[in-house]
């Protein structure tokens, strides 16, 4: 499409906002973090300690 055929930003924004209001609201879970994540804390610590030694530019 040519530049003239494309919708203007305000038109796109209003379309997105209408869509956003029509979607169901997702509420944050109040449960504990997943067990899968908790079981891999050693892996996460090993990963972060490796990267904490890298030089910062």
**Both tokens assigned to 30:** 């109040």
DSSP letters, 7-19, are: PPHHHHHHHHHHH
pLDDT score for 37: 54
pLDDT score for 20: 92
Q: For every one of its 57 residues, what pLDDT tens digit does the chain have, with 9 covering 90 and above?
A: 688 888 899 999 999 999 998 988 888 777 766 655 555 555 556 555 555 555 555
Q: pLDDT per residue over 40-53, tens digit each?
A: 555 556 555 555 55
Using CA atoms, how far apart are residues 22 and 20, in angstroms rounded to an integer? 5
> What's this model's pTM, rounded to 2 decimal places?
0.38
């Amino acid at each position: 499409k040519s530049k003239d055929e494309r919708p203007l930003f305000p038109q796109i924004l209003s379309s997105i906002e209408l869509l956003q209001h029509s979607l169901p609201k997702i509420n944050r879970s109040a449960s504990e973090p997943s067990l899968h994540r908790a079981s891999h804390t050693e892996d996460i610590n090993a990963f972060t300690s490796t990267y904490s030694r890298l030089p910062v530019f």
